[in-house]
Structure 1
Amino acid sequence: MIGIKIDGKHTSDFGLIMTGCEIASPEPITHMISIPGRPTELDLTESIYGRVTYKPRTLKFAFDHPQDTTAKFQGLLAYLNNLYHGRRVKVIIDSDPGWYWVGRMSVAGSKDKKGLANFVLTLAAEPYKYAVLSTLDDWLWDSFSFRTGVIRNYKNLSIPESKVITVIGSPVPVTPKIKVSKAMTLVVAGKSFSLAANAWQRLAGVKVGREPTLFAFTDTGVVSIEFREESL
């Protein structure tokens, strides 16, 4: 039965039948400055972070549930409220199984005279959705999209003396972390990093986005590059 998973539990476990799914686009955070004598405002939206940022967005999921008594409806509503209302949860939509959303959930319910109960689960979500798998996880083909998916496996890569690794990043640029088996030097995006052995290190100032990024390593060792895709 089509629905959603909330913190690993599927809505079909409650007998809920999904009838609607609404995902609002997030509102951009703009930075406009009025300058005397200038006919239009100065748009500095991308100047602060180098890209557009967004406000939280709303996801709404509508469900039906056959109920023959008001008491049963009230019992299920109370059960869902106790589980999820006001709580921060992780949601995976069946139709988009490779990604998850994070946000605070609210629960609402009503019942008509014919015995049909309606429930609406609303998620006040972060603007981005996150890939279920990171670059260190084993790939699951049942959730892989052959239309838009990219296989990213950057775990325990062998570096013979020196090597350039092409990293395919995220639809929304993210900062990767890296771990090496022995001290070595990395050059990426015109910046040089001295990497210590056996410790996760975040590459400050480096973002990996849609375009391939070259990671140039020197010396011999084993390298892991970790990040999780983000997308609107």
Structure 2
Amino acid sequence: MAALQGVKIGDHHTLKDWGLYLVVGGTTVGPAEPDESLLVKVPFSDRILDLSKSMDGKVHYTQRKITITLKCVKPKRLWPKVQSTLENALQGQWLKCVFDDDPAWYWEGFWTVTPQSRDRWENVFAITGICNPYKTNTTAAAGADWLWDSFSFEEDTIYDTPTEVKSL
């Protein structure tokens, strides 16, 4: 049986700080949304002008929606306090998000908290982020400080010249 996993959002870890663990299959990373503002309606025409690749030949994206479903392991009497603390820490904040199973990468986004269900046995929350379209490697900034604890010698790369690293 796999160990319970959480997510670090901002300075807080959902499992260690709040007793909230990831539901198996409860994380959804939506598709990157193409920048539709680059589709221009031509005045007095029935056509749309596609400027999405006009500047650099690349498609540009605006955002991505990430939904994280978490269950509470704390006693039922503490559930209202957990919800209040969770909302105070995350609601309406622009924060980094690092998943326990992918510690070398982070997402940045604007987070909201929604109670999903509460019955006598479990309390479930959904944390939703409207995020940048790409996750960012924690080691991508050449010459900048980075964390050894999250560095994987098998999968990560140390960059010695500045570069932009993106991953869909």
By the TM > 0.5 criterion, same fold? yes
Does the 8 Å CA contact 1:99/1:130 hold for their aligned counterparts? yes
Which position in structure 2 is the counterpart of 1:91? 97
Alpha-carbon shift at residue 138 of structure 1 (Å): 6.1
How far apart, in 2, do the equivalents of 1:113 and 1:27 lie?
A: 35
Which position in structure 2 is the counterpart of 1:16? 20
Measured against aligned partners, the alpha-carbon deviations of 1:160-205 in whole angstroms (never above 9, x if no partner) come to: xxxxxxxxxxxxxxxxxxxxxxxxxxxxxxxxxxxxxxxxxxxxxx
Q: Which runs of 5+ in 1 are unaligned?
A: 155-225
Measured against aligned partners, the alpha-carbon deviations of 1:142-173 in whole angstroms (never above 9, x if no partner) come to: 532735x433224xxxxxxxxxxxxxxxxxxx
Alpha-carbon shift at residue 73 of structure 1 (Å): 1.5
Q: Which amino acid aligns with 2:101?
A: S
Overall identity of the aligned pairs, in %: 25
Which position in structure 2 is the counterpart of 1:123? 129
Measured against aligned partners, the alpha-carbon deviations of 1:3-38 in whole angstroms (never above 9, x if no partner) come to: 211123211121111001110011212544678xxx
How far apart, in 2, do the equivalents of 1:87 and 1:139 lie?
A: 23
1:59 aligns with 2:63: no
The 1:8/1:228 distance shift into structure 2, 3 A limit, reads: farther
1:5 aligns with 2:8: yes
* 3-state SS of paired residue (1:150): coil
Q: Which runs of 5+ in 2 are unaligned?
A: none
Structure with more contact order per residue of length (Cα contacts < 8 Å, sep ≥ 6):
2
Which position in structure 2 is the counterpart of 1:215? none
The 1:129/1:142 distance shift into structure 2, 3 A limit, reads: closer
Alpha-carbon shift at residue 82 of structure 1 (Å): 0.8
Q: Give 1 or 2: higher helix fraction.
A: 2
Structure-1-length-normalised TM-score: 0.58
Summarize the alignment of residues 45-84 of structure 1 with structure 2, pairs less than 5 Å apart: 45-66=52-73, 68-69=75-76, 71-84=77-90
Alpha-carbon shift at residue 104 of structure 1 (Å): 0.8
1:140 aligns with 2:141: no
* 3-state SS of paired residue (1:56): strand
The one of 138, 151, 157 equivalent to 1:150 is 157
1:231 aligns with 2:167: yes
How far apart, in 1, do the equivalents of 2:72 and 2:78 lie?
A: 11
- Give aligned pairs, total: 158
Measured against aligned partners, the alpha-carbon deviations of 1:115-141 in whole angstroms (never above 9, x if no partner) come to: 310011111111121111222246838
How far apart, in 2, do the equivalents of 1:34 and 1:138 lie?
A: 45
